C-alpha cells in the first residue's frame, strides 16, 4: 500500500497534506466551505467501467485526490482585527488526501465499492464511503456499457467540519483492449455540520444567531447541484492506473493505482 501511495505522490508532485478551516464563518462562508470540502470530497469512480465480473471479481486500489482550497483563505474574520481568533491567512492552495478502495463483484452486472481515508499528516481526517454500480446496458457489437452509480460518504476534518455526501450518476464507458474511457453526470447533495465556538474545534462565533438557536453545538447546512466527470483507465495485466476529472462547482483531479483480479 505504501508503494502505491508513494507512486501516486510521485505522479502528482508535491502538494499540501493539510487544510485549515478559518473561524467565525458567516452563512455565505459556510456555503463556500461545503462546496470546497463537501461536494468536492464525494466518492470517485476511478475504475474500469466494465463490470468486475460476478463473485470472482475483486479490485484493490489507493487513490490520491486534489482539492483546490485557495478560496478558504479569504473566509472568516480578519486576523488581528478585534477579538478575531484567526492568527493568519493560510497560503495553501490545494489539499491532497489518499483513499483506499476495495471493490467486489456481487453479480455479473452489479459491483460494490467501499473506501476509507488513509492517515494524512497535518490534519485529523476521517472518511468512509461506498458506491454501488449497476451496469444495466451493454451493446452487442461494440465495447460500450452504461451504468447507474449510487455513491455516498462521510468526511470529518479536525472535528470542526463534518459532511455527508450522496450522489447519483449515469455513466457511459468504452473499453478497447487495455484502455477505457468513461464519462457521465448526475446530481449530488451535501449535508454538513459546523462546530460552534471560537476556541479549539469551533469555527462559528458562539453569538451567531444560528448557534444561539442550536441545542446541539453545531450548525447544519445543505448544498446541492449537478456533477459531471470524465476518466480513463489503463490496464497492465492485473495492475491498473485510473485518472479522473470531476466537475462540481469546481474541478477536482484524482488518480488511482491498484490491482484488479
Position 15 scores a pLDDT of 53
**Sign of the C-alpha dihedral computed for residues 260, 60, 166 and 132 taken in this order:** positive
- What is the pTM assigned to this prediction? 0.90
Question: Which portions of the chain are predicted below pLDDT 50?
Answer: 5, 10
**In total, how many domains does the chain have?**
1
Position 6 scores a pLDDT of 53
- Grid coordinates given for 187: 446530481
Position 4 scores a pLDDT of 52
- Grid coordinates given for 154: 462521510
pLDDT in tens, 90-119: 888 899 999 999 999 998 899 999 999 998
Contact residues for 86 (Cβ-Cβ < 8 A; gap 6+): 22, 23, 24, 76, 77, 78, 79
Look up the domain containing 200 and give its range.
2-260
* Average pLDDT in the chain: 90
Judge contact between 30 and 194, C-beta under 8 A: yes
User: What percent of the chain is predicted at pLDDT more than 90?
Assistant: 71
Judge contact between 110 and 133, C-beta under 8 A: yes
Output the DSSP codes for 130-153: EEEEEEEEE-SSS-EEEEEEEEEE
Amino acid at each position: 500500500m505504501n508503494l502505491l501511495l508513494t507512486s501516486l505522490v510521485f505522479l502528482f508532485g508535491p502538494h499540501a497534506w493539510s487544510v485549515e478551516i478559518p473561524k467565525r464563518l458567516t452563512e455565505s462562508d459556510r456555503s463556500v466551505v461545503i462546496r470546497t470540502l463537501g461536494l468536492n470530497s464525494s466518492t470517485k469512480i476511478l475504475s474500469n467501467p466494465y463490470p468486475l465480473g460476478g463473485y470472482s471479481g475483486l479490485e484493490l486500489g489507493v487513490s490520491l485526490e486534489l482539492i483546490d482550497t485557495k478560496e478558504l483563505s479569504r473566509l472568516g474574520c480578519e486576523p488581528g482585527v478585534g477579538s478575531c481568533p484567526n492568527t493568519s491567512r493560510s497560503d495553501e492552495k490545494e489539499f491532497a488526501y489518499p483513499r483506499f478502495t476495495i471493490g467486489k463483484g456481487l453479480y455479473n452486472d452489479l459491483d460494490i465499492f467501499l473506501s476509507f481515508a488513509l492517515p494524512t499528516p497535518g490534519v485529523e481526517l476521517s472518511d468512509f464511503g461506498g458506491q454501488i454500480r449497476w451496469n444495466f446496458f451493454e451493446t452487442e457489437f461494440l465495447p460500450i456499457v452504461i451504468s447507474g452509480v449510487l455513491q455516498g460518504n462521510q468526511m470529518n476534518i479536525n472535528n470542526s467540519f463534518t459532511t455527508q455526501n450522496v450522489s447519483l450518476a449515469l455513466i457511459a464507458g468504452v473499453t478497447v483492449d487495455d484502455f477505457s474511457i468513461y464519462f457521465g453526470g448526475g446530481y449530488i447533495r451535501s449535508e454538513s455540520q459546523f462546530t460552534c465556538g471560537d476556541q479549539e474545534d469551533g469555527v462559528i462565533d458562539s453569538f451567531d444567531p444560528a448557534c444561539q438557536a442550536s441545542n446541539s453545538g453545531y450548525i447544519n447546512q445543505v448544498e446541492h447541484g449537478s456533477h459531471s466527470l470524465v476518466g480513463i483507465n489503463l490496464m497492465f495485466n492485473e495492475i491498473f492506473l485510473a485518472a479522473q476529472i470531476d466537475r462540481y462547482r469546481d474541478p477536482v483531479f484524482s488518480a488511482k493505482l491498484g490491482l484488479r483480479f
